Amino acid sequence: MLIGLLAKNAILIVEFAVQRRKAGLPLIASAMEAAKLRLRPIIMTSLAFVFGLFPMSIATGPSAQGNHSISIGAAGGMVSGVVLGLFIIPLLFVIFQGLQERVTGAPKPDAGNGADEDHGPIKNGINTLPLPELA
């Protein structure tokens, strides 16, 4: 679960950075803005995870030692993963996106209306197919 939450955070940061990059922001600015935008949800999710482990860390009884080890390790992993991820993921995005753009060229900014691509019957998230008549 710990790895899944940290991976989800990284994926969301990269997705937001790609969207900002396609919107025309410079590479570093798009990575920084993505990290800023995702900061609050990442912190909220991570704190909920850590606080959920708190009862295990203060457990008593015959299996308390095992519970303490698991909960403290998982909480420490989450906190350190979030702190490192907020700095490392945008840095890796800048490095690898920069390499990709050197090979393929910088992305063209989106017009925002989808006019440059054919999306079929879906325009701006709205289905433009005619509705069937109800009898």
What domains lie within the chain, and their CATH numbers? 2-105 (1.20.1640.10)
- Per residue in 72-89, pLDDT (tens digit) is 999 999 999 999 999 999
The pLDDT assigned to 1 comes to: 85
Residue 85 CA to residue 133 CA, distance in Å, equals 52
The yes-or-no verdict on residue 36 having pLDDT over 70 is yes
Average pLDDT over residues 97-104: 92
Higher pLDDT, 2 or 112: 2
> Please, are residues 22 and 33 in contact by the beta-carbon 8 Å criterion?
no
The yes-or-no verdict on residue 3 having pLDDT over 60 is yes
The token pair at 92 is 């890796």
Average pLDDT, the chain: 85
Residue 10 CA to residue 25 CA, distance in Å, equals 20
How many C-alpha atoms does 44 have within 13 Å on its Cβ side? 5
- Strand (E) positions, 5-135? 122-123, 126-127
